[in-house]
Structure 1
Amino acid sequence: MSELPGLYAAHLARDRRRSAHTVRAYEATAVRLCAFLQAHWGAAVERAMLAKVSSADLRAFLAARRGEGGIGNASAARELSAVRGFLAFAVGEGTTPRLKGPRVKKGVPRPVSPDEAVALAEDVAEDAAEPWIGARDLAVLLLLYGAGLRVAEALALTGAILPLGATLSVTGKRDKTRIVPLLPQVRAAIEAYVALSPYGTARDAPLFRGAKGGPLSPRLVRLAVQRARVRLGLPDRTTPHALRHSFATHLLGRGADLRALQELLGHASLSSTQIYTQVDAAHLLDVYRNAHPRA
């Protein structure tokens, strides 16, 4: 039984093409569930026993998770999703008990203004320890705002994208490839970084390198943005991912087609893209409240 969570993790990575972060999180949930059921039932958990897991067992597991970790509805919903996937893997689809998950209110993305996005990228670059690191950080952040890339997608780029053209091929979640336009300003920023980088641009090597030559860590990008937003007095919602939200919101506000935006963002479902229509509506209401004499 102890090896089943590991087999599930291998299945997610190999067959479902889930990200490393998702694989780690779902495997951890599977380990927690098995440990809970062993204590709950008072017996070692065998594969066949997982077919007998009831809705009451899952409610007890979620209650225990809330008690020990203080998790909220969103985390509980993710935990339940991981549990369902694990049980379906272990005993077959359609055998998991029906249990309604906690209600999760979908948050609306919080974009920053175009001026704030550019100021943030420039401030991060100016604060860098070396010119080539500043050029690197500027290129990464402009890719997030100017091309709508996720942080992981930008940092996964290799020297194979060079020389740059008018578009860029990006590999997103579940190894899905999409083509995004490359603005002249973004292209110029990448080329300036490449010219200064001391580590070269081998086709199979990461394009964006850390100070010691290894792949650039997403954590370093987040920390650099966090420091810059404090210096600029920007709100806490100003994160690297907020630049991607801003890309989508600003395009939609300028009349971009929702289906085209879905392709640019690499969303598997249109429902993921439709949330930006709420952002645009919220912006219109803000303008109305601030400008209308009767608002």
Structure 2
Amino acid sequence: MNRISSQLASQLSLVSFDGARRPTPPAPGRPALVLVAHGSRDPRTLATVHALVDRVRELRPGLPVHLGHIELNEPLLPDTLAALGDQEAILVPLLLSRGYHVKQDIPQMAAASRVRARFATPLGPHSLLVDTLYERLVEAGWQTPSSEAERRSTGVVLAAAGSRDPDAAVDARRTAELLAERLGVPVVPAYASAAAPTVPQAVRAFAERGRHRVAVASYFTAPGRFATECADAAPWIAAGPLGAHPAMARLVLHRYDEAARVPAATTEPALASA
């Protein structure tokens, strides 16, 4: 009963007499981590993001970790930032490459708040993403080709959301290169929208070169329409999305730590990609 009373008192202390939420008290000596998700109408996406947030909190007890969405889901990023008041925070995008959201949306939302914001780079490319992609492929049935003939007939399509920003394609290609080094077979990036090739086009291109044993690696943070459509195009196996894999939680904290080491006045969004 005492524990419940204490928790209730703590929650009530965040609400002012007029019903407005007060800024969350800062943790001494460290910026808050704000994980910025895109948002989705698919309820599986929100559940996955919450599971990832929980993993991050478990790995770094005492670090204030908050969630904000660019669109479609609550809490929206502006609301999360408003609750932080004028605290210092590091915004870590739950996005896999550079693009409009990283370069424009997130900085603009931060600029409209009172938060003293620093910006982490997007999650990809990075070896921890490759670890996750590999394990998701293994879960789906991936086995290293056992002969040269089998290797010559095997390929992997790295299925990503797609963007009109050329930097996003650069980042996806780098992840494909890293995954190819890990798997020992060709990996090509393909996209669900806004960029070429599409996943079916990439599968056909492999087939034209005699590679009919083609897997699809899901370069999506969570389940959703695009991830499902790309998986349906797989002629062999299709891996699940990255999800709340432990390596993803470590990567979020790695990006946070990178940004924390840079003086606040010099941080700019999306300048680095590795």
Q: What TM-score, normalized to structure 1? A: 0.27
More helix by share: 1
Larger radius of gyration: 1
Which structure is higher in strand share? 2
TM-score by length of 2: 0.28
The structure, 1 or 2, with the larger RCO (C-alpha pairs under 8 Å, 6+ apart) is: 2
